[in-house]
Amino acid sequence: MKYAVTAATGNFGLLAVNYLSKLVDPKDIIVIARNEQKAQQLFPDFEIRKGNYDSVEEMTDALKGIDRVLFISSQPGGPVERSVQHQNVVSALQKNHVSFVAYTSFANAQSSKTALAADHKLTENLIEEADMPHSFLRNNWYLENEAGFFESGKTSQKAIYWAGNKAGWALEREYAEAAAKVLTSENPQAIYEFSGKSVTYEVLGEALNKVLAQPCDVAQVSKQEYTFDLENQGLDSQTAALYASFQDPIDNGSLNENSSDLQNVLGRELTTLSDGIKEILSK
């Protein structure tokens, strides 16, 4: 059985390969990356193949002889649209008759209100239409996404947010470990809603204060005030607006998910918010 992890040089891919190597023989793991040199530095003991989502031919070559693939979604905003990149990968999976794919998707991708889910919905549909055995790993929010919120509380004793709904925060390494376990599972589910317990920023702030030696002031402001604060910290208006928009999926309820799938796959309770925050601030 040959396993492959695509986009492996990103943080999620690095974590996933590490966890996968504890479940199967590392000689059966193929690392696929756009940057071969970087991959060789990160994975000196693994077989590496060059695979760029921009090229269907390159991905087809990279996936030859592979049985099971962890297909890690690309980041939006590149020169080639993510929807096109993902179509290339699915086409390459089909051409190689891959027996199973685990795809890192978005929370409730088929019904989500947020624009971030659109490419994931398309990719899920492409995989379904290809009649390919699969698991959609619908990841909620990484706790690491809030590193700025935590650092602000630590350094300035003030942590602000604007989103008024909930998210299912969990550590990225827990999502990655679960992905590796699904990839090697004998009877995986077709869909996993991976999520921590859904909570508000207010609760996240309470967890932050448990960690800090000196408590900080946690406050909700308007989206406009939040954006102005980012500008006052030195960001240009366009970048500040982009950063503020990262809370849109939380505010519109797209990440308000209460599923036990993540802890069920891991076979244990998730890291508590306080312990997760402590881990992030220690890096």
272: nearest Cα among 210, 224, 188: 210
The full set of domains in the chain, from first to last, is 3-139 (3.40.50.720), 141-168+196-256+271-282 (3.90.25.10)
List, in sequence order, the alpha helices (H) in 169-272.
172-183, 201-211, 223-232, 237-245, 248-251, 261-266
**How much is the pLDDT for 77?**
80
H/E element, 100: strand 100-106
At residue 211, φ and ψ (nearest 5 deg) are -85, -35
Contact 252, 113 (CB under 8 A): yes
**How much is the pLDDT for 78?**
85
For the chain of 283 residues, list the mean pLDDT of each consecutive stretch of 10.
Answer: 97 98 98 96 96 97 98 91 97 98 98 92 97 98 97 93 98 98 97 98 97 94 96 93 95 95 98 98 93
**How much is the pLDDT for 196?**
97
Which DSSP category does 46 fall into? S
From residue 200, alpha-carbon distances to 145, 206, 257, 265 in Å are 14, 10, 12, 24
Strand 166-167 to strand 134-139: parallel, antiparallel, or no bridges (unpaired)? unpaired
What letters, b where the CB count within 10 A reaches 16 and e where it falls short, cover 115-131? ebbebbbbbbebbeeee
